[in-house]
Amino acid sequence: MMIAIALILGALTWTIMEYSIHRWLGHHRLLRKYTPFGGEHTRHHSSGNYFSPTWKKGLTAIAVLAAILWPAVRSGGLGPGVAYACGLVGCYLVYEWVHRRDHTHAPKTAFGRFLRRHHFHHHFHNPSMNHGVTTPIWDWVFRTYETPSLIRVPRKLAMPWLLDTEGNLRPELQADYQLR
């Protein structure tokens, strides 16, 4: 039971870290200038399809695991400590997958549609809102949630899954998106 609780706590810890890193290291006008994440994030917003190289993300996961594993084991014991660390790093890897998929694939479920609209509202409408990529929980808590309306995507930043073979917005997506 303690291992399951620790795993869930690790996952929840990641969600607040995701929100905090994105909001403050990615968008705070001073902090983003002085962190590696800030530069990568600015490039991601300006090009739309740029993602940090996988090796950087792998090194980040290893560094986070190395930083949290010993304190987690010391405070919770071997099983729960490892479970907590695995929950946190596992959710970080899920975040990376979800974020890339948001940009590269059309949604297949209602939740996928919701996450993309939430995230692309942040990208194309108001970058000071909707910082959660895998969940809007902390946006609700910190009052940075805005309900997306029609999302106007600059043509040069349009994700390929938005477009048909002629480069126009796919008809089934016109209720959610518009090219500008």
Instruction: Give per-10-residue mean pLDDT for the chain (180 aa).
Output: 96 96 86 74 78 83 90 95 96 92 94 96 95 96 97 94 95 95
Q: What was the pLDDT predicted at 51?
A: 79
Locate 122 and state its tokens: 């942040």
Residue 153 parent element (H or E):
strand 151-153
Q: Which of 23, 12, 6 is nearest to 94 (CA)?
A: 12
**pLDDT in the model for residue 157:** 92
Residues 91 and 107: their CA atoms lie apart, in Å, by 20
Q: 31-54: b or e for each residue (b if 16 or more CB lie within 10 Å)?
A: ebeeeebbebbeebeeebeebbee
169 forms beta bridges with 163
pTM: 0.89
What is the phi/psi pair of residue 25, to 5°?
-80, -25
CB atoms within 10 A of CB 116: 26
Residue 179 β-bridge partners? 153
Secondary structure letter of residue 147 according to DSSP: -
Q: What pLDDT is stored for residue 31 in this prediction?
A: 73
